[in-house]
Structure 1
Amino acid sequence: MADLAQNIFTKKLEIKYEDRQIPAVLTTPNRPRDQGIVFTHGAGGDMDTPQVALICEGLSKRGFTVLRFTCKSLNLKYRTKVYAEVVKYFKMNCSEVQRCLVGGRSMGSRAAVEVANQLKGTEFESFVQGVICVSYPLYPPGSPEKIRDAPLYDLCQPSLFVSGDRDDMCEKKRLIDVLDNVKNSSVCWLENADHSLVVRSSGLENTVQFVIDKICNWHYETKGENQNNAHSESRHVIEAKVPKLRYKEKV
């Protein structure tokens, strides 16, 4: 399902968490839908890292209200607490957003998974309806025995994983084996991309646009399945127009 690109409006924010102000950017399309996205960066970047900013702005041009934020702490527990506060701010202060997806790149995707799990059983549980994991770091580089799969098995919402097939923190077969046991999970592989998730032959902007297309396609499919049959066992194959990309869904 294709969307016409929309004009977007950007607003810088500071979201209070304890005694700190969390820098954030709210990107709103001129014709917003009731679905929003909260997204954050990896361990070595911030919300203005080119790939993160391009993904968020591109998704907003497709109709999503997108809130991205910076939290540079390397403590996952702290980052998760900050993330949860940002999600709560999003719900309370963006009246047009009735439900949202949470996501992130690398360490940010780990925090998104943790938030989705921690908000279960709270008033925000129904607000979070999916998880987007870009370059999920399944294990630290050089330490495949230290696998970070436990939180994934607790996910109740549909989840999308977008990874490069040369990612040294997420070997392809190991992630597929994990996702075989994660309900309503999908994975999209970019051939010849490493953890940076850039296909050199395509360039950053083309690669990001392709990622945005996959996120939107996945969103429309899972939204339809949730409306018609929350326990659908159907599998979908999305034909790739960009060379060297494979898509496979795990349910």
Structure 2
Amino acid sequence: MSEKTPRRQTVATPGGDARVHWYEADAPRAVLALGHGAGGGVEARDLAALAATLPAHGWTVALVESPWRVAGKKVAPAPRTLDAGWRAVSPALAAPGLPLVVGGRSAGARVACRTAAETDAVAVLALAFPLHPPGRPEKSRADELPLGKLPLLVVQGGNDPFGRPAEFPTDATVVEIPEADHSFTVPKRAELPQETALRLLTDAVAEWIPGAVSPAHG
């Protein structure tokens, strides 16, 4: 991930201990706190790429490992339990006294969107937001997006079966990673190499954060 070894912090929540992996900038301007998905952990390629890249630009990245994952369980609990855990961790994320941008990938993005107003977040980053179950566009979760409430960036694979970029509401800011799937993997036959796809993702986030943070903390 990053050249620096992360500082790890254990945080008690109603569902057990969570673990925060801190990738700290030398002179941080904000904290970007990211949760993982329901099928993986903080080692996901998009989370790892952001943790490796953003601290050099002045943004501390906090990867939050959910209690169920820390406990070694393979199945995520109900959404309300995930939300309660994220709320319990949020004071630790805000402890540095910096502007807090919340987000995550997939299920983690949903949690961050649903609870953003309760965590004093100034902006939200949604990576691979599962807009609907595959093949079920009528089961939209667009109402979970904090549209018009906080600065929001959605980064979505062009071939994500959980929602392609064009399916999102027109007032959502969406960056497309061409040919990428839900895990931001691109096919070997793709014109865009995997490394370049991840660079597009990290560049988009690095470009977005300053403007997202500045309205509340100029």
TM exceeding 0.5: yes
Instruction: Give runs of aligned pairs for residues 80-229 of structure 1, distance below 5 A.
Output: 80-92=83-95, 94=96, 97-117=97-117, 119=118, 124-125=119-120, 128-152=121-145, 156-175=149-168, 178-180=169-171, 185-200=172-187, 201=190, 202-223=192-213
Provide the residue aligned with 1:69 in structure 2: 64
How big is the shift at 1:7?
A: 6.6
How big is the shift at 1:35?
A: 0.6
How big is the shift at 1:76?
A: 1.5
For the Cα contact (< 8 Å) 1:39–1:56, is it kept in 2? no
For the Cα contact (< 8 Å) 2:50–2:61, is it kept in 1? no
Q: Is 1:16 aligned to 2:9, yes or no?
A: no
How big is the shift at 1:20?
A: 1.7
Provide the residue aligned with 1:238 in structure 2: none
For the Cα contact (< 8 Å) 1:27–1:60, is it kept in 2? yes
Q: TM-score, normalised by structure 2?
A: 0.83
How big is the shift at 1:186?
A: 1.4
Residue by residue over 1:10-44, the C-alpha shift from the partner in whole angstroms, topping out at 9 and shown as x without a partner, is 11221111362112211112x22231110011110
Q: Which structure exhibits the higher relative contact order, with contacts defined as CA atoms closer than 8 Å and separated by 6 or more residues?
A: 2
**Cα 1:10–1:153, aligned 2, differ >3 Å: closer, same or farther?**
closer
Tell which structure's C-alpha radius of gyration is larger.
1
* Alpha-carbon distance between aligned partners in 1 of 2:9 and 2:53, rounded to the nearest angstrom: 19
How big is the shift at 1:203?
A: 4.2
Q: TM-score, normalised by structure 1?
A: 0.73
**Cα 1:226–1:134, aligned 2, differ >3 Å: closer, same or farther?**
same
| Root mean square deviation, CA, Å | 2.4
Gaps of 5+ in 1: 1-5, 229-251
Aligned residues: 206
Which amino acid in structure 2 is aligned with residue 149 of structure 1? A
**Cα 1:219–1:145, aligned 2, differ >3 Å: closer, same or farther?**
same
Which amino acid in structure 2 is aligned with residue 12 of structure 1? R
**Cα 1:90–1:156, aligned 2, differ >3 Å: closer, same or farther?**
same
